[in-house]
Structure 1
Amino acid sequence: MRFTDLDSYLGIVAWWKEQNTGTLAAEEMFEYRHPIMLINTLEGTMSASPGDYVIRGVQGEIYPCKPDIFEATYEPA
């Protein structure tokens, strides 16, 4: 999902709640601090800036991904 603002943050939180494969509750996983969101990852807390993607890895881990990396790695479905 792409993070852009508070509305997209709320959408990401709702997605996490629906798809949660981890042990952390959404309140422990994400925090919104305008204009960024903080994500607790396996590597520690990372920030997503507006325009970044929030993606799930192969083991269910969640982390931010810069648009240029995302677009070079994935093809539209």
Structure 2
Amino acid sequence: MIKTYRKTATIQAEQFDGSPEMIEKYAIGVMPAMVIDQFSNPDDTKNWLEPSFRINTLEGKMRLRVGDWIATGIQGEHWAIADYVFRASYVEAD
């Protein structure tokens, strides 16, 4: 029989803004921007990706984008949550 469950633990979270302070605070790895298509015009900025960020999690490195949320669990572990998923899943605790 399938039952319904909800999480009982609370988390702390802050939205990643790409700042050097947050990069240092969470030991985030930064990869420079890359060209999407090697044959595209490098002067055409739509062909460039934003810098790629990585955060260390219990499961390994996880991609992080500006605007994503960095969650901190009950054991101090961190992971990234996409903004739309965070807003659909969490509400601020009192």
- Structure 2 unaligned residues grouped into runs of 5+: 1-13, 33-50
Question: C-alpha displacement at 1:12, in angstroms?
Answer: 5.0
Q: C-alpha separation between the residues in 1 aligned to 2:23 and 2:70?
A: 8
For the pair shown, the structure with the greater C-alpha radius of gyration is: 2
Q: TM-score, normalised by structure 2?
A: 0.54
* Corresponding residue to 2:82 among 59, 66, 69: 66
Question: C-alpha displacement at 1:49, in angstroms?
Answer: 1.2
Identity value in percent: 34
Question: C-alpha displacement at 1:11, in angstroms?
Answer: 2.5
Q: TM-score, normalised by structure 1?
A: 0.63
DSSP-derived class of the 1:50 partner: coil
Deviation per residue, 1:19-65 (Å, 9 max, x gap): xxxxxxx3xxx212242311111111101012111110122110100
**Number of residue pairs aligned between Structure 1 and Structure 2:** 62
- C-alpha contact (below 8 Å) 2:23/2:29 kept by paired residues: no
- Structure 1 unaligned residues grouped into runs of 5+: 17-25
The residue identity in structure 2 corresponding to 1:69 is: V
**Root-mean-square deviation (CA), in Å?**
2.0
- C-alpha contact (below 8 Å) 2:55/2:64 kept by paired residues: yes
Describe how 1:1-77 pairs up with structure 2 within 5 A. Answer: 1-5=14-18, 7=19, 9-14=20-25, 16=26, 26=27, 30-34=28-32, 35-76=51-92
